[in-house]
Amino acid sequence: MYYLGANGPQGPEYELAARLAADLGVSLYIYSVLTVSDVLAEVAAGRAHIAAAGLTQGQPLPDDVGFGPHYQQVREHLVFRQGSPRPRTISEASAGHIEVAANSAHAATLRQIRLQDPNLTSLVWVENPGTETEELFNRLTDREIDFTIADSNEFAVSRAYHPEIRAAFDLSRSKSLAWAVNTQDASLLNRLTAFFASLSADGQLTAILDRYYGNIRRFEYVEARDFIQHIEVRLPSYKQWFKEAADGVGIDWRLLTAIGYQESQWVPDATSPTGVRGLMMLTADTARSLGIEDRLDPRASIFGGAQYFVMMRKQIPARIREPDRTWFALAAYNVGFGHLEDARILTQMHGKNADSWDDVRNYLPLLTQEKWHSRVKHGYARGWEPTRFVENIRSYYDMLQWMVTDVRDANAAEQTSD
């Protein structure tokens, strides 16, 4: 998995590739192509040294291309949409529309299942060229298809941004993920084998994978009961710092508090799979740029989060009025200003208002689809994440405005009644 996050390249594949390049003493150059078949073709032709694309051993490979050592075990899920009948067998699922990426390991699994069972002659599926797993999840959510197949690691990550998807059952036993290399270059394959052996032996490989997958939790909708409890139990410890930080940058302290709850549920030592940490979940680079030495210091994190939010808001074009300006700033806080601008461009392409959050929020998810993110500057982004991020914060903010009265608001109310 590799993608551009708010603060540059992210993902386990990127981190592993960066470490390999450092180990080899060479510069890392990463580029993307449309499909898995294209990735493998680049290696076969010698234009790329390594195909690092979450490839499952069992994936059909061209001549002169082979797998290196495995680095992760995954299972293949048959995925369906919540609210639809859950199939218990592949035979039951065959009555619906199954769609997978063309020439993928998932398509190979379906072919193998049909070959092994003579009673599954009715099992058919669509192999969609040029698609990606997240786009298939989007089609599933939009009821354009009934089922798809996803590796368990992809499902675990994407479930946070597609809460409607469910795993019906596993199609196969655990399979291994591995990089692919040109087998004509024995020296590179040997170095790759030694690299992964070293990472595995000292625990670094496990640590990298745990960072991205180990702490993934199910996405939760706004849980009013838990939120109210946390207002009573957790917020008092940090309330004054939220007020001071918000006053310092000129924003409503309850908005800053809502951001903090969305980021960590006001847990000062929270850590995400991607390595962001603290109550406001700042990246190491962001904390460093803000002069924060300890991201787990809740006061420093809160003040840093306030500064970072205002930095994002200042980049929003001056013509955009409130409250859209704030919603755009929140989206940029989450996904990065560059990706937000890309979504605004896509909004314009579709004839909608790029200065309206209600319009732009509908086009942010297109950044997961190659046919759209290839047309903008900053490329792929998890477009569902900032959309849900903003909507959750708006819900928390509304509740805080209703439940937690600002002293200044109370004074104004008293003066009005006088």
Tokens of 271: 């850590």
Long-range contacts of 22-30 (CB under 8 A, 24+ apart): 23/191, 23/195, 24/191, 30/2
Nearest Cα to Cα of residue 245 among 292, 315, 289: 292
The question of whether 232 is a catalytic residue gets the answer no
Q: What does DSSP assign to residue 93?
A: H
Given 99, 132, 263, 385, the catalytic residue: 263
Q: What does DSSP assign to residue 398?
A: H
User: Mind spelling out the 3-state secondary structure of 161-202?
Assistant: CCCCEEEEEECCCCEEEEEEEECCCHHHHHHHHHHHHHHHHC
* C-alpha gyration radius of the chain: 24
Question: 330 exposed, middle or buried (CB, 10 Å; 0-12, 13-18, 19+)?
Answer: buried
Which three-class secondary structure state does DSSP give residue 73? Answer: strand
β-bridge partners, 77: 150, 170
Tokens of 410: 């109370």
d(Cα 173, Cα 328) in Å, to the nearest integer?
A: 44
In the sheet that holds 148-151, the strands lie side by side as: 148-151, 76-81, 165-170
Give catalytic residue positions: 263
